Structure 1
Amino acid sequence: MNGHEFIFFGGFLSLIFVVLAIDLGLFNRHSHEVSFKEATIWTIVWTLLSFCIYLFIGAYGDMIHSVDSFARLQELNQLHGHGLNLNPALDLDTNLGIYRKALSLEFLTGYLIEYALSVDNIFVIIMIFMSFSVPKAYYHRVLFWGILGAIVMRFIFIFLSAALIQRFEWVMWIFGALLVFTGIKMYVDKDKEEKINVSKHPIVRFASKYFAVHPHFVKDNFFTKIDGKRMITPLLLVVFVVEFSDVLFAVDSVPAIFSITKDPYIVFASNICAILGLRSLFFLISNVMNLFHYLKIGLAVLLTFIGVKMLLGSIFHVHIETVPSLFAVVGILGISILASVIFPQKENNA
């Protein structure tokens, strides 16, 4: 990590933590049930923040890696798989403009992919909350701390994956095959009712073995003391389970963005921006997500498309540009949502 990369990374994280601190300290100091209006406002806030980062990358993206020569630009073009047709006959500023535009589009495409796949994660989180009988007033607190853990885990996973990809090209083959398998499995299991057995969940069994666990919620506290003995509450267990589900979710979502770009800073920024919007999106659509019954199929097609794209690029060196990929992502999601509206799910009266 050079000086410019450190400044970008540090500045990005500082911005994220400042907004999160404002969110928790000013607007959500006390646990409460998040209303549809509040969720809508925060969804707009996080979306606008992501859009501002998109504009920043489009204007100053070359500063991330300190591009000061055409040779350095070509090096990054090959290293991160941008597939740009750079022209040494043109001046550096013109080529940098092409590079910045590519970075910003890669960020936007990665953001949309992660944001769309987050919907599937919302299904899982809802099941977790229902299985543990979490009061709705505590949802925001669980998601807030779960997201902080997700930022740390995504950092480790993304930069470790980037290092492996740069050293071993066949890692992309594994990622592509994994995405195709996951997409097909998601389609096959689209009508399968998923359940969570709380007592048999690996996180619950681990915590019960090594920690003293209180059997009941104690307001919104993660810890409590009983007869002088410090115990963890079920609410902290829920945070651990949500974090565990996010780690499993990242195994699919992070490789999906690596199909768009191998630049770990763009992957990380788009990933985190989408995760930050997950909380407000959760409250916004949790009560209406049954209306979009074809979305699961859309996500399955999306994962399969991304996996095939990754395999074509890594094995057969057939590169699909970012703009067509962006249109494909938007098109797949748009069709699945539109189909859900035009062909509503029939109620089962049996």
Structure 2
Amino acid sequence: MLESLPFLGAAYAGQPVWLWMGFLAFIGFLLWIDLGVVNNKDGVVSAKKSAAMWASFAALAIAFGGYVYFVYAPDPAYYMSPDNLNQQAVLQYFTGYLLETALAFDNIFVIGMIFTFFAVPREYQHRVLFWGIMGAIVFRAIFISLGAAIVNEFTWVLFIFAAFLIFTGWKMVFGGDHEMDLHQNPVLKFLRKRLRVTDTIENHNFFVRRPDPRGTGRLVLFATPLFLTLVMVEVVDVIFAVDSVPAIFAVTKDPFIVYTSNIFAILGLRSMYFMLAEAVARFKYLKYGLSLVLVLIGVKIIWNFGLYKGWQDLTGEALVPYLEPQWSLLATLLLIGGSMLYSWIRTHQPRDGAAPPAV
């Protein structure tokens, strides 16, 4: 096969093209199973079904971690040490996956607001999120390709990422909740001005044909509010990618690990939304744990790429220890898991109907 199609053996971002294409084909197969088999009809996705779907995607993400550990061939150029490359890669993969999954919680808040704004019936929400995931796979590939080219050409950019992550962590706590004024959103204004849009949602269709309002007697294409919803979901993903892509590059410089951990986290977003949409308010303290994770990752960049590499004695020995990947994974688990557990306990409604304790 490789002899007849030599480009498949060519390297892209440290890995052969056939590996990238194989991964995308696998993701495409999963999405086909999702929309073509499991959810091939419009309907409300129950919390129980969503939990089973999310658990399935999480199990696949864990299984892929096994591939990274036992089979994957990491490119040493993307790692600080040439020793135990697979161990480094799998720790970075799971750290990135957990971080991206936690960051996806912010998407749930905003996506719920978009669905409410456009009055999208629950039976059509899954279709919007499915195609939103398709767009996210493409946009993340673009962002990650650009990020990999910049980071691996100019390592000092990581210090900008570090400062950005520390600022983002601070803003997450003190800058208020994410809000989006859809009435004044410039993208939505542009679309309404340039497209013919129906007043109501037309089943699950993104576009429909209606008589030309200019009286030509022809049928012309109209966008529906469901299409505007899809565009706004994509806009939200692009906005959040500005936070998540620097965060994952702060964990690993390996583009394949960056992309695969990102995509597995995004695949679980849709089922996570239906599973947690009504209970998402109970995770009000998650942002504090996540903000600390972002700050710690930013500090880790400064430590490993600044102090460890730049602060050496006369013999060339580093004066500070290198922070190994397992500490990032442990900190991510403890801070995100701890903040979720604390949120669940603090917002628990007592059986007697009394309000939860004040903060």
The TM-score bracket by the shorter chain reads: 0.7 to 0.9
Amino acid aligned to 1:224:
V
2:39 is equivalent to residue 28 of structure 1: yes
The residue that corresponds to 1:294 in the other structure is 285
The residue that corresponds to 1:321 in the other structure is 324
Q: CA deviation at 1:85?
A: 5.8
Q: Looking at CA atoms only, which structure, 1 or 2, has the larger radius of gyration?
A: 2
Q: Which moved more, 1:268-277 or 1:175-184?
A: 175-184
Identify the match of residue 248 of structure 2 among 242, 251, 257: 257
Q: CA deviation at 1:348?
A: 10
Counterpart CA distance in 2 for 1:180 and 1:149 is 28
- The structure-2 alpha-carbon separation of the partners of 1:215 and 1:310, relative to structure 1 and needing over 3 Å to count, comes to farther
The residue that corresponds to 2:345 in the other structure is 342
* Residue segments in structure 1 that go unaligned for 5+ positions in a row: 66-75, 87-97
Deviations 1:96-136 (A, max 9, x none): xx211221121111111101111111111111111221111
Counterpart CA distance in 2 for 1:195 and 1:231 is 29
Q: Which moved more, 1:124-133 or 1:111-120?
A: 124-133
Output aligned runs, 1:51-66, within 5 Å. 51-62=62-73
Amino acid aligned to 1:197:
D
Counterpart CA distance in 2 for 1:256 and 1:197 is 26
Q: Find the residue that maps to 2:16 and give its secondary structure.
A: helix
Query: TM-score under structure 2 normalisation?
Result: 0.85
Counterpart CA distance in 2 for 1:311 and 1:153 is 28
Amino acid aligned to 2:339:
S
The residue that corresponds to 2:139 in the other structure is 153
Deviations 1:225-257 (A, max 9, x none): 111121111101111111011011011111111
Moved over 6 A (4+): none
Counterpart CA distance in 1 for 2:186 and 2:340 is 35
Identify the match of residue 300 of structure 2 among 291, 309, 330: 309
Counterpart CA distance in 2 for 1:134 and 1:168 is 44
**Which structure is higher in helix share?**
1
Counterpart CA distance in 2 for 1:302 and 1:127 is 26
Q: Find the residue that maps to 1:160 and give its secondary structure.
A: helix
The residue that corresponds to 2:170 in the other structure is 184
Q: CA deviation at 1:347?
A: 5.8
Amino acid aligned to 2:81:
L
2:230 is equivalent to residue 239 of structure 1: yes
Q: CA deviation at 1:46?
A: 0.3
Output aligned runs, 1:261-276, within 5 Å. 261-276=252-267
Aligned-residue RMSD, C-alpha: 1.9
Identify the match of residue 104 of structure 1 among 90, 95, 102: 90
Deviations 1:196-234 (A, max 9, x none): 433321221111122111121111100011111211111
Counterpart CA distance in 2 for 1:132 and 1:198 is 10
Identify the match of residue 123 of structure 1 among 91, 109, 115: 109
* Residue segments in structure 2 that go unaligned for 5+ positions in a row: 1-9, 212-218, 310-321, 349-354
2:18 is equivalent to residue 7 of structure 1: yes
Matched pairs, number: 322
Query: TM-score under structure 1 normalisation?
Result: 0.87
Counterpart CA distance in 2 for 1:20 and 1:281 is 15
The residue that corresponds to 1:199 in the other structure is 183
